[in-house]
A and B are shown apart, each in its own frame.
Chain A
């Protein structure tokens, strides 16, 4: 069943659908949280919190918001960074939209995409890789990265942007 069908059934309080959704994405959400937090207990807390919130408010994610898997990845990362910074998230639930072309509901397609992303990331110049890692996984601001690396602020911004563009292009090719 597609993600949108599962969400509709979750909205009708279908435990079975919630269980399927959990099986589909829990490992992905947990892996992202663990990579950021480096603590299994905290990563599980973040993951549980996200899925409980989907159970509470399935309507907060609607089909028009794009790929559920991509959205969960970003939410997992942002919640983990919030924990890392020891501050409460300002938004009760992330209401952003994503492009909808990334279908992560199929495990086979998801694994193939992950492999492509890893290769694309490895192919980036080291400075771009580092800047992306500092910003994405360690939650550092551009000025903190500039301070850490000794590079100008504008250079950091450009590296991050170019890194993201390169990965997108690598996936489109």
Chain B
């Protein structure tokens, strides 16, 4: 394999199945990191191998599997809640043992209630879940507030390319948190099966990052709040394209609105 040139289709299929040798996998990965053409080919190969997975005969799930899963995510939620409500200043002073002590105490308490009252344990779990949800909502609200008020936030107005500027969009982006809020106004309605997709175009020449899909309401307004963007991603510009209803991994030209 010569990875100065594009990766042959045969090797992309093997890469997708991790069926190349470790050395070939590494070389392919290095090439893919730099090559959008081969990344598109890889996406196609992955789509093909997903189909092989669909040939598998369906099997009934083991008994109780869903209950075990829901219990796991309850535990996960409680863990996140414990982390997020623990005083930040204390955590920063490396009193890690306090966290372990608190966790051990929680476990002991949970065990106590588990032994003496299953019903009470259930109610505790529900309460912990609700608290975690509230904590997550509060954290999200804080991020929104930070984005709207931070002096470091970049404010970009997007206007329609080559058209009178009635449709407009406003993107507010805070790079270090990867936090983006977008509002669009007077946007044209879309045909069925189509959707607007917002893109963050990075400064470092990397491929555009999908930043959320949206359809305008009857008045032409739409918003995208905190799409998942890796924190620290430097933005060169923002753009909007029209994509199939399920969204795309790469923008379909033309870019109908853009701003930087």
Contact = CB atoms under 8 A, between A and B. Distances in A.
Interface residues of B, number: 60
A4 interface: yes
A148 B72 CA distance: 41
Contacts, number: 199
A136 B52 contact: yes
A141 interface: yes
A13 B61 contact: no
B76 A117 contact: no
Nearest to A111: B58
B17 interface: yes
A31 B10 contact: no
Interface in A40-71: 40, 44, 47-48, 51-52, 55-56, 59-60, 62-67, 69-71
A102 B228 contact: no
B204 interface: no
A113 interface: yes
Contacts of B59: 27, 30-31, 34
B90 interface: no
Name which of A23, A69, A99 has the most chain B CB atoms within 10 A of its CB. A99
B258 interface: no
Chain A interface mostly helix, strand, loop or mixed? helix
Interface string B37-69: 001001111111111111111111110011011
B248 A100 contact: yes
Nearest to A136: B52
B43 A97 contact: yes
Given A64-B249, A157-B10, A142 B19 contact: yes
Contacts of A26: 61, 65-66, 69
A64 B196 CA distance: 12
Interface of B: 9-11, 13-14, 16-21, 39, 42-62, 65-66, 68-70, 72-73, 76-77, 129, 132-133, 136-137, 140, 197, 210, 212-213, 227-228, 244, 246-250
Given A66-B246, A71-B50, A142-B19, 18 more contacts: A15-B73, A19-B66, A22-B69, A27-B58, A27-B60, A30-B65, A40-B62, A47-B65, A48-B69, A51-B69, A52-B72, A62-B228, A64-B247, A100-B246, A141-B14, A142-B20, A164-B13, A167-B52
